[in-house]
């Protein structure tokens, strides 16, 4: 059949099962927007292209499907860059479609021309500049295939305006062939891993974000339970095991729980699943591996040995690898180790005080209120993110959305909105700081416009808390540009955007506001005033070993 390039894009989106796209129009993408006018999919108009890409990202993280965003050429396309980088570093499957100046005007510094494939080369898994309309269907299909296959990631397709307008012959795609299982760990590597696990007397399992992306949480849990060993999670792996699972010790890394970090430090064997051993996870990369055997399971061969040298590598799709290993592996004598670990856990249970409003208590209160309900947690970046990671009860994969690799302030609200679109049966609760929330807070307008019932809890400490914390601890309390001189009324801002707003200064006020926001069922902002000087503990200083906790005066 004969279609325009723009119509072919819409057909390809339908073929891929896309039900929602997030975007913002402009001159060079107008043919596609014209085709979207009657398309059988929902377009969510955000306030800013950064909102669109983070929303597509939140949609993908919460649903496991490919998120799609659209922007015009030049400034529209460059506004996507932070969101693409966030998705790239956290291995999130996205397809970003950008308008481009007509092919005859490429390379002439035309109005709103930016070489966006050049700009995004290092923050996309792959990108395409389509110059020949007849190749458009094949390229769109490849973009989706690349975004979701292997280690997922963002793919950008740049569409010159004349390519969107040209006519092409469109043939529907062949039915999807059954997915290949990917590379599997060799039998020999599985046997070696099983032998190492049997020989270990102090093993620990580290779950990373790859477990979530591979939708392999159930298989990871099965292996963990078969082995009966302690389990910890990286920031990206939260939700792989339910927070209250008896073997789960919590978060490892810079702001990890004391017991979790101690277990990793003292372990003689680490079995890491879908983790890239980022510097936030390992602390000192020289001391981290000392005295340990590493078994590394990952889809991406280039992660093996990148940050930590592993003794046994199992490269391939995690689901079959974990299942294969679970069939072969059994723990050695780890009774004494588990008893020691239980003592560490008991000694280091977090204490919650409700003497005044504070973030750890708020996280526990949110967990209490949402227990047993379908909920997705999203965060922004900073102290509140770490308090959320430490104290929220994250119980299922895909219910914890955070910008881990890039740490992009401004991610939280739009990602929460995208997640709310993806999983309308769940309620999305965002935890943000006052600084990062301000960066994309105009997206509350989008929340109101589409009635997306996200509850945004703004932990307002009237400072750029994480920067202030580092200045207190490592820069002799010289608070350079981290204290916000004027308190901003986020509740009033919410109301102006058409979103309900509450303000809480005491624990009782917070409890009442959260219950009211939940019951109201629409988008809501709750501003929670906490102390400016509250700091996140425990903390391992950058480059220190996992048993060297920063002492706070
Ligand atoms: C886009 C961006 N700019 C700067 C930073 C550096 N940064 C990391 S945390 C932080 C402070 C965040 O303050 P706030 O949003 O109020 O959260 P809090 O730490 O107080 O919880 C800053 C500036 C960043 N991560 N992202």
Alpha-carbon distance of 65 to 170, in angstroms, equals 25
| Nearest ligand 1 atom, CA 434 | 16
Q: What angle, rounded to 10 degrees, do the helices at 359-370 and 507-520 form? A: 40
Q: Averaged over 150-169, what is the pLDDT?
A: 98
Helix (H) and strand (E) counts in the chain: 23, 20
Distance 254 CA to ligand 1 centre (A): 16
Per-residue pLDDT at 92 exceeds 50? yes
Mean pLDDT for the stretch of residues 123-141 = 98
Contacts of 123 (CB under 8 A, 6+ apart): 81, 84, 85, 88, 154
Return d(Cα 439, Cα 434) in angstroms, integer.
9
Cα of 381 vs centre of ligand 1, distance in Å, is 6
Instruction: Check if the beta carbon of residue 273 is closer than 8 Å to that of residue 215.
Output: no
Cα 433 to averaged position of ligand 1 atoms, centre (Å) = 8
SS3 252: coil
The whole-number pLDDT of residue 175 equals: 72
Cβ(68)–Cβ(126) below 8 Å:
no
Which tens digits make up the pLDDT trace of 390-443? 999 999 999 999 999 999 999 999 999 999 999 999 999 999 999 999 999 999
Ligand 1 atom closest to Cα of residue 82: 1
Res. 180: pLDDT tops 50? no
Query: Is the pTM higher than 0.95?
Result: yes
Which residue, by CA, sits nearest to atom 1 of ligand 1? 409
Any idea what DSSP says for residue 467?
H
Whether the Cβ atoms of residue 178 and residue 14 lie closer than 8 Å to each other = no
Q: What is the mean pLDDT of residues 217-228?
A: 98
Quick one: CA dihedral 108, 110, 116, 117, positive or negative? negative
For residue 3, the Cα-to-chain-centroid distance in whole angstroms is 37
Is the pLDDT at 380 greater than 90? The verdict is yes
| CA 461 to ligand 1: nearest atom | 20
- Under DSSP, is residue 137 helix (H, G, I), strand (E, B) or coil? helix
Under the banding of pLDDT at 50, 70 and 90, the label for residue 176 is low
Q: Which residues line ligand 1 (CB under 6 A)?
A: 380-384, 407-410, 433-436, 459, 461, 463-467
DSSP assignment, residue 32?
H
Q: Does the pLDDT value for residue 179 go beyond 70?
A: no
Q: What is the pLDDT of residue 174?
A: 81
Around Cβ 349, how many Cβ atoms within 10 Å? 10
Q: Is the pLDDT of residue 181 over 50?
A: no
pLDDT number for residue 178: 46
Q: How far apart are CA 405 and CA 393, in angstroms?
A: 22
Could you tell me the distance, in angstroms and rounded to a whole number, from the CA of residue 448 to the centre of ligand 1? Answer: 25
Dist. CA 92–CA 249, nearest whole Å: 26
Q: What pLDDT, on the 0 to 100 scale, is given for residue 422?
A: 98
pLDDT at 479: 98
Residue nearest atom 13 of ligand 1, based on CA coordinates: 464
- The pLDDT tens digits for 235-273 are 999 999 999 999 999 999 999 999 999 999 999 999 999
State what percent of residues in the chain have pLDDT above 70: 98
Q: Which alpha helices (DSSP H) does 125-186 contain, by range?
A: 136-148, 161-165
**pLDDT at 347 > cutoff 80:** yes
User: Pocket of ligand 1, candidates 436, 462, 465, 527: which has the most ligand atoms within 8 Å of its Cβ, to mutate?
Assistant: 436
Helices (H), 304-411: 318-328, 335-347, 359-370, 383-391
Mean pLDDT of 364-380: 98
Q: Quick one: tokens of 77?
A: 């396309």
Angle at 86 between CA 18 and CA 496, to 5 degrees: 80
**CA atoms within 13 A of residue 452's CA, in its CB half-sphere:** 29
Nearest to 242 by CA among 90, 418, 394: 394
Name residues whose C-beta falls within 8 Å of residue 278's C-beta, 6 or more positions apart in sequence. 234, 253, 307, 404, 405
CA of 138 to the centre of ligand 1 (A): 41
Spell out the residues 6+ positions from residue 340 whose beta carbon is closer than 8 angstroms to its own: none
* Alpha carbons 106 and 141: distance in angstroms, whole number: 24
Buried b (16+ CB within 10 A) or exposed e, 487-506: ebebbebbeebebbbbbbee
- How many Å lie between the centroid of ligand 1 and the Cα of residue 414? 16
Which of 466, 527, 539 gets mutated to test ligand 1 (max ligand atoms within 8 A of its CB)?
466
pLDDT, tens digit (0-9, with 9 covering 90-100), for 35-59: 999 999 999 999 999 999 999 999 9
Local confidence band at 177 (pLDDT 50, 70, 90 cut-offs): low
pLDDT at 487: 86
CA of 482 to the centre of ligand 1 (A): 9
Q: In this model, does residue 183 exceed pLDDT 60?
A: no
Task: Give the distance from CA 60 to its chain's centroid.
Answer: 9
85 and 407 in contact (C-beta within 8 Å)?
no
């Amino acid at each position: 059949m004969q279609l325009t390039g723009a119509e072919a894009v819409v057909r390809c989106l339908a073929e891929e099962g896309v039900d929602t796209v997030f975007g913002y129009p402009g001159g060079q993408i107008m043919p596609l927007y014209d085709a979207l006018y009657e398309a059988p999919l929902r377009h969510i108009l955000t306030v800013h292209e950064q909102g669109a890409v983070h929303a597509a990202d939140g949609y993908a993280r919460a649903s496991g499907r490919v998120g799609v965003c659209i922007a015009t050429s030049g400034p529209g396309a460059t506004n996507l860059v932070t969101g693409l980088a966030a998705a790239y570093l956290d291995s999130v499957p996205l397809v970003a479609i950008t308008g481009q100046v007509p092919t005859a005007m490429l390379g002439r510094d035309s109005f709103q021309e930016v070489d966006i494939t050049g700009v995004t080369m290092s923050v996309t898994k792959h990108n395409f500049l389509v110059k020949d309309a007849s190749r458009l269907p094949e390229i769109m299909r490849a973009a989706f295939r690349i975004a979701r296959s292997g280690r997922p990631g963002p793919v950008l397709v740049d569409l010159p305006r004349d390519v969107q307008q040209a006519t092409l012959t469109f043939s529907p795609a062949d039915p999807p062939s059954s997915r290949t299982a990917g590379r599997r760990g060799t039998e020999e590597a599985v046997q070696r891993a099983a032998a190492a696990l049997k020989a270990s007397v102090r093993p620990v399992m580290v779950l990373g974000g790859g477990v979530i992306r591979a939708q392999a949480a159930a298989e990871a849990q099965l292996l963990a339970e078969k082995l009966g060993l302690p389990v910890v999670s990286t920031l990206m792996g939260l939700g792989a095991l339910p927070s209250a699972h008896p073997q789960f010790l919590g978060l490892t890394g810079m702001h990890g729980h004391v017991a979790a970090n101690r277990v990793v430090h003292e372990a003689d064997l680490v079995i890491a699943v879908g983790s890239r051993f980022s510097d936030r996870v390992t602390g000192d990369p020289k001391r981290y591996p000392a005295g340990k055997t590493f078994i590394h399971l990952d889809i991406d061969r280039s992660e093996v040995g990148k940050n930590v040298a592993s003794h046994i590598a199992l490269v391939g799709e995690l689901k079959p690898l974990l299942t294969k290993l679970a069939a072969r592996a059994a723990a050695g004598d780890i009774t004494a180790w588990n008893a020691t670990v239980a003592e560490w856990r008991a000694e280091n249970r977090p204490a919650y005080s409700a003497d005044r409003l504070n973030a750890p208590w708020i996280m526990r209160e949110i967990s209490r209120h949402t227990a047993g309900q379908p909920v997705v947690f999203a965060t922004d970046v900073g102290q509140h993110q770490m308090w959320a990671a430490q104290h929220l009860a994250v119980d299922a994969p895909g219910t914890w959305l955070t910008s881990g690799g890039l740490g992009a302030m401004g991610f939280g609200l739009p990602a929460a909105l995208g997640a709310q679109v993806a999983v309308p049966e769940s309620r999305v609760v965002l935890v943000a700081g006052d600084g990062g929330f301000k960066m994309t807070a105009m997206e509350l307008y989008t929340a109101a416009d589409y009635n997306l019932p996200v509850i945004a809890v703004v932990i307002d400490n009237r400072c750029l808390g994480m920067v202030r914390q580092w200045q207190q601890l490592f820069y002799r309390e010289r608070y350079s540009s981290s204290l916000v001189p004027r308190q901003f009324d986020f509740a009033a801002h919410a109301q102006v955007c058409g979103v309900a707003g509450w303000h809480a200064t005491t624990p009782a006020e917070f409890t009442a506001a959260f219950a009211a926001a939940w019951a109201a069922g629409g988008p809501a902002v709750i501003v929670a005033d906490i102390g400016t000087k509250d700091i996140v503990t425990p903390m391992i200083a950058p480059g220190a070993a996992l048993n060297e906790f920063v002492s706070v005066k």
